[in-house]
């Protein structure tokens, strides 16, 4: 395809028969002749739309005019001359932008619902006498909308997928902090689901932390872990053993009653882990191990 250089993300230009092409040109002729009127009608029709309304109001005349000219040129290339790739590439880009702005996909159908009758009316006026020609342009109109909407739909899906990936990345980054509580004591709070990827990252962070802060004891708090299965238990054991290889003792805290029951029921052997009921207990045990003593001073306010 000659469009190899243009990024259309799997969107190929629609292929039309000669008859369809000439119908598309007929459609364009009518659309082009009444372009400004149709744009204005669409603008009026969408002025009260909950999503497009504010968007249209927020746009300056100049910007709108500029955008109109731009899409007009792209559509002319596509519908009159059969060069669809630049038009589709533009739609993909615009779709992605609107998706990021939070414009819903359904709203595009509302927009089409406004534009379609306005074009249909003019098609009837132009080709009303010639029913074959009219039918051809109607079909072309459908093809045009289908192509445009599937492209925009794809742009939406791509954008949403990308957002999901970004958020997953953010959650991963957020969720494995290694905190220093005092000299030689690290805290690793684990929240959410532990999958292999996260477990690896968690253990990695923990080991780097032990090395950097010269920690002797680490408290791994799993209060925020919803479910512990064999996999998760093994990940925990691995983390604890790896910590021990660096000379640090690990204390696991925060096994809830439910989690403890599950662990016993599925028969996971956690006897190699040193577990303490809650974070407070774990920290005080760690402090004892390190030779610290927490003392209340007389100057305290409470």
Sole binder of another protein in the list 204, 262, 270, 290 (CB under 8 A): 204
Binding flag, residue 286, another protein (CB under 8 A):
no
**Distance between CA atoms of residues 183 and 198, nearest Å:** 26
Report how many residues bind another protein under the rule CB under 8 A. Answer: 17
Pick between residue 36 and residue 195 the one whose CB is nearest to another protein.
195
Residues 115-144 that bind another protein (CB under 8 A): none
Q: At what angle do helices 230-245 and 196-213 cross, to 10 degrees?
A: 20
Sole binder of another protein in the list 242, 260, 270, 279 (CB under 8 A): 242
C-alpha angle 60-62-64 in degrees, rounded to nearest 5: 70
**Distance in Å, CB of 273 to another protein, minimum:** 14
Binding flag, residue 183, another protein (CB under 8 A):
no
**Non-local CB neighbours of 252 within 8 Å, separated by 6+ positions:** 219, 220, 221, 222, 236, 240, 270, 273, 274, 275, 276, 282
Nearest to 216 by CA among 186, 248, 194: 248
**Distance in Å, CB of 257 to another protein, minimum:** 29
Sole binder of another protein in the list 4, 106, 245, 257 (CB under 8 A): 245
* Element counts in the chain: helices (H) and strands (E): 11, 5
Pick between residue 217 and residue 283 the one whose CB is nearest to another protein.
217
Question: Would strands 274-276 and 217-224 be described as parallel, antiparallel, or unpaired?
Answer: unpaired
Binding flag, residue 246, another protein (CB under 8 A):
yes
Per-residue contact track with another protein, 247 to 266, x per CB under 8 A? xx------------------
Binding flag, residue 1, another protein (CB under 8 A):
no
The stretch among 86-94, 125-133, 221-229, 240-248 that binds another protein (CB under 8 A) is 240-248
**Distance in Å, CB of 287 to another protein, minimum:** 16
**Distance between CA atoms of residues 92 and 114, nearest Å:** 21
Cβ count within 10 A of residue 268? 18
Nearest to 246 by CA among 180, 162, 174, 184: 184
Pick between residue 100 and residue 214 the one whose CB is nearest to another protein.
214
For tokens 């002797």, what's the residue?
A: 216
Binding flag, residue 207, another protein (CB under 8 A):
yes
Pick between residue 16 and residue 213 the one whose CB is nearest to another protein.
213
**Non-local CB neighbours of 271 within 8 Å, separated by 6+ positions:** none
Pick between residue 44 and residue 212 the one whose CB is nearest to another protein.
212
Sole binder of another protein in the list 9, 33, 169, 241 (CB under 8 A): 241
Q: Could you tell me if 163 and 181 are in contact, meaning their C-beta atoms sit under 8 angstroms apart?
A: no
Residues that bind another protein (CB under 8 A): 203-204, 207-208, 210-211, 214, 238-239, 241-248
């Amino acid at each position: 395809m000659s469009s190899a250089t243009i990024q259309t993300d799997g969107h190929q230009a629609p292929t039309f028969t000669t008859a369809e092409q000439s119908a598309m040109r007929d459609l364009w002729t009518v659309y082009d002749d009444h372009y400004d009127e149709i744009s204005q009608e669409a603008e009026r029709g969408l002025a009260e739309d909950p999503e497009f309304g504010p968007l249209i109001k927020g746009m300056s005349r100049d910007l709108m005019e500029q955008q109109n000219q731009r899409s007009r040129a792209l559509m002319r290339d596509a519908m009159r001359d059969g060069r669809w790739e630049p038009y589709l590439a533009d739609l993909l880009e615009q779709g992605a932008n609107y998706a990021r702005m939070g414009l819903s996909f359904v709203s595009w159908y509302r927009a089409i619902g406004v534009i379609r009758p306005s074009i249909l009316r003019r098609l009837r006026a132009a080709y009303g006498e010639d029913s074959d020609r009219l039918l051809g342009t109607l079909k072309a109109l459908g093809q045009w909308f289908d192509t445009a909407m599937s492209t925009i739909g794809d742009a939406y899906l791509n954008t949403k997928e990308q957002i999901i990936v970004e958020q997953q990345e953010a959650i991963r980054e957020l969720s494995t902090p290694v905190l220093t509580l005092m000299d030689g004591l690290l805290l690793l709070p684990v929240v959410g689901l532990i999958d292999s990827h996260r477990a690896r990252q968690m253990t990695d962070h923990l080991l780097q932390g032990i090395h950097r802060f010269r920690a002797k004891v680490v408290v791994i708090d799993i209060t925020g872990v919803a479910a512990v299965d064999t996999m998760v238990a093994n990940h925990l054991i691995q983390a604890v053993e790896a910590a021990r290889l660096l000379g640090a003792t690990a204390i696991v805290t925060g096994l809830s009653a439910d989690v403890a029951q599950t662990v016993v029921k599925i028969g996971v052997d956690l006897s190699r882990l040193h577990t303490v009921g809650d974070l407070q207990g774990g920290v005080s045990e760690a402090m004892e191990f390190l030779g610290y003593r927490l003392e209340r001073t007389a100057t305290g306010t409470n």
